[in-house]
Chains A and B, each alone.
Chain A
Amino acid sequence: MPKHYQLSALEATRQIRNQELSCEEYILSIFERINKTEVKVRAFVTLLREQAIEKAKEVDNLVKKQEKLSLLSGVPIAIKDVICTNGVRTTCSSRMLKDFVPPYDATVVNKLNSAGAIIVGKTNMDEFAMGSTTETSFFGPTRNPWNLDKVPGGSSGGSAAAVIAEDVPLALGSDTGGSVRCPASYCSVVGLKPTYGLVSRYGLISYANSLEQIGPFARTVEDCALLLSIISGHDDRDSTSVNLPSKDYVSLLKSEDETNRLRIGVPHEFFGEGVDNDVKDTVWEAISKLESLGCTYDEVSIPSVSYALAAYYIIAMSEASSNLARYDGLRYGFRQEKDEGDWATVYAKNRKEGFGAEVRRRIILGTYALSAGYYDQYYLKALKVRTVLRRDFERAFKEFDVLVGPTMPLLPFNIGEKIDDPLTLYMCDVLTVPANLTGYPAMSVPCGFKNDLPVGMQIIGKSFNEETILRVAHLFEQSTDFHLRRPRL
């Protein structure tokens, strides 16, 4: 029999509902597990043991009184520390916000609370979500549970690591250029970036607002679909939130009749130079598997993908320079004890001490790309390339239902291996940024192992058509066992 902490979210909430499992006992087993793994993995910035146990007792009381439970009643979840939680510090893994306690909840947190979920902690990340390894955290790196010397991916590395370490069945991350899909691939979990506008960004601390979405992590596609159903939906407090009828993605998984006739496009550019041969082979095997299950595939070319990475970094850095201008150390955030000099000097010192090197690099380069004389050459040009990329993807989606390729070009690498060379590290995002620039939904699913390290397959779908990529992922998952494997911790 599986241990309590190993249960999927759907199974846990079912057992609690049927009084087969006490929620308090379940949450205690979760914290026991976290105690055991956390010394090795370091996935969390803040743990909320006492308040989680209190909430579990409330759930048990509801069950006893036979009151109606919600979809996620009693299910523990970890939240990336870029998403605001009322009364619980939200640090962005930065010295700048290390003591910041938001006076309000993000919309997704409200939705989780209403659905009965129990927040057990806030997870580690790259500082302000800028990175692909979780190494730029002010609190130190998170380690990959499959091999503690390797990076877990980033920027939502803590969330993905916590899910595969069996600390929690569910977690939330945010994805600006791959920050959900990259750690999902490196930790062998399911991670999804929704279509831009599907999930409210209210209470998500901004890095590059035209690119980012909050997204779910889980160990199964079904759990991922469940969490997506809960966090998606229109919100008046986010002007870029789209008003569409809500969907139950779990039941949509089950109407699979057409799934095995889906047309899969395989972009050449996703298997180009710089992509590791082991990764290519593993993903091709996965595509053959989908073919054997009835899907058809064909190769396609999306030439502008080669320019996506440069366009992405110009746009993301430009938006970052504007979004992070608010951190002056006056109303909240890090402020130096000594306030000598004029306002501008104090401001510049607070930002020097409060931000790490990568955050400062991106703010300064973004300021450059937006400055007079360079605006047209960098920022405006990148926005035009973004249009070309969208047109190329639209063309491909006329022929295909989904596009499939690797999530990451490389297998997980060593902690410390690339951190001193920013450009080399940026290259790791080459296959994930196109979905952010175009807004399309994309997910990573476990599709194999090489040298005992996980490989993820990326599935990109049409706008607001999350159910299709989830179905492809589900079809694959149901006839493979990669999602059942666990690291030894």
Chain B
Amino acid sequence: MKNQITREEVENIAWLAHIELTEEEKKIFTEQFNKILDFFKKINEVDTEHVPPTYHVLDISNVERQDEVGESLPQTETLKNAPKKEDGFFKSPRIV
């Protein structure tokens, strides 16, 4: 396992997560991430050969229900919390 996360990697992951960082934050986050990731490596001491992962603790999977049409929120309600809207649509920034 690699020992250090670089400033460039932090920039790249922040971009993947769609979060802009200031120059100062890039520096602080890189230092903090290295300490935290070092601590995370502690789990390598545990022998997990042939141990399956636990994604969640319940013994249930694929919960299904009848595919019935229910009530939906009216358009005005749905748009109420939108910071920008126009003609009954959410207004997004330019995509293409």
Contacts and interface: CB of A to CB of B under 8 A. Distances in A.
A367 B32 CA distance: 16
B82 A423 contact: no
Interface in B18-62: 18-21, 25, 29, 32-33, 35-37, 39-46, 48, 51-58, 60
Given A239-B63, A330-B90, A333-B83, A365 B36 contact: yes
B93 A381 contact: no
A352 B21 contact: yes
Given A330-B92, A343-B93, A240 B56 contact: yes
B56 A351 contact: no
Interface string A366-409: 01110100000110111111111010000000000000000000
Contacts of B56: 196, 210, 240
Nearest to A306: B42
B81 A383 contact: no
State the main secondary structure of chain B at its contact with A: loop
A377 B63 contact: no
Contacts of A351: 17-20
A144 B80 CA distance: 36
A383 B43 contact: no
Contacts, number: 167
B73 A103 contact: yes
B69 interface: no
Given A310-B43, A342-B94, A423-B39, A388 B48 contact: yes
B32 to A, nearest CB: 6
B90 A344 contact: no
Interface of B: 1, 5, 9-10, 13-21, 25, 29, 32-33, 35-37, 39-46, 48, 51-58, 60, 63, 65, 73, 77-78, 80-84, 90-95
8 contacts: A196-B57, A197-B58, A364-B19, A368-B9, A369-B40, A384-B52, A387-B51, A437-B54
> Top 5 closest A-B pairs, CB basis?
A383-B53, A439-B57, A332-B81, A384-B48, A335-B83
